[in-house]
Amino acid sequence: MGNLSGKVALITGASSGIGKATALAMAEQGATVGLLARRQDALESVASQMGGKGLVLVADVTDENAIQENVAQLVSKTGGLDILVAAAGISLKAPFVETTTDTIRRIMEVNYMGTVHVTKAALPHIRERKGSLVAVSSLTGRQATPEYSVYGSSKFALQGLYDALRIEMLREGVHVGVFSPGFVDTPLRYSVLQGNGLVHEKPPVPPLRLWPVETCVKKILELIRKRKKEAMVPGFVRYLFALNDLVLPDWVSDYYLRYKFGYLGRNR
């Protein structure tokens, strides 16, 4: 039995990608896991792989009432809640000038408000057990990135929320952490939105390394186990951020990102 034996976790976005992989890993370590996403069939498929440790919770994270009801249902069945991993999200790659306000609202509703809703619902139960709140963010929520202005801003907001919440919860003994990966090899890569809200016909080619989801899961579990405030993939990027802030002039990082994302010599 693993080191999560007896713990109860809730994971949003649990039907695929980082959420699914984290749920399976937690069940292997002995946790009972509430699997929350919109697609019941996909959730039932995940639960079938968890040896009775998975509880299916069907809801859209943008529906605050549904989230409240499902969290209450999970706590009623299990007796409490120790861990939240807010992994639900959608991606967008498009220049800001080509992105409609409706699409911007959709990104913020899912990525930011979806995390707000589930955090609000879970926090009272997490406080009782002095457990963990973890938000899955992105490196674009730490570093402005061309054509990820809208997606990144939703993650910047998420970073700010959880950073402040961590300080607020210190006296309560609640662990609050943020996991920020780069490009990850998950099904999300095939449903990246354009500025008009439609999915790209061809998935955008990542300009940087595509990381395996298993690497992300290991980082998330370590974040929870060590009650760290943040984890990143790749891990070395934290030192690059520090170097950029303290030593390098702004134009160095700007030049690098313009080069990697194809913006050198372009008037856009």
Amino acid at 223: L
Q: What is the pLDDT of residue 268?
A: 40
Structure tokens at 149: 């202005």
Q: Would you say residue 243 lies in a domain?
A: no
Q: What is the pLDDT of residue 144?
A: 86
- CA-based nearest residue to 81, from 116, 120, 45: 120
Task: Output the domain CATH number for residue 112.
Answer: 3.40.50.720
Is 151 known to be catalytic? Answer: yes
Q: Would you say residue 141 lies in a domain?
A: yes
Q: Looking at 112, 148, 151, 162, which residue is catalytic? A: 151
**Cα dihedral sign for 32, 166, 143, 154?**
positive
What is the average pLDDT score of the chain?
Answer: 91
Cut 0.75: pTM above it: yes
Q: What is the pLDDT of residue 182?
A: 92
Residue range(s) defining the domain that contains residue 145:
8-235
What does pLDDT average to in each consecutive run of 10 residues of the chain (268 residues)? 86 97 97 98 97 97 98 98 98 97 98 98 98 97 92 97 95 97 91 96 86 96 96 76 58 61 57
Q: Would you say residue 39 lies in a domain?
A: yes
Q: What is the pLDDT of residue 267?
A: 45
Q: What is the pLDDT of residue 30?
A: 96
Phi and psi at residue 94, to the nearest 5°: -170, 145
In DSSP notation, the chain reads --TTTT-EEEEETTTSHHHHHHHHHHHHTT-EEEEEES-HHHHHHHHTTTTT-EEEEE--TT-HHHHHHHHHHHHHHHS---EEEE-----B---GGG--HHHHHHHIIIIIIHHHHHHHHHHHHHHHHT-EEEEE--GGGTS--TT-HHHHHHHHHHHHHHHHHHHHTTTTT-EEEEEEESEE-SGGGGS-B-TTSSBPSSPPPPSSPEEPHHHHHHHHHHHHHTT-SEEEESTTHHHHHHHHHHTS-HHHHHHHHHHHTT-TT---
First to last CA, the chain: 55
Q: Would you say residue 248 lies in a domain?
A: no
Number of domains, the chain = 1
Q: Would you say residue 135 lies in a domain?
A: yes
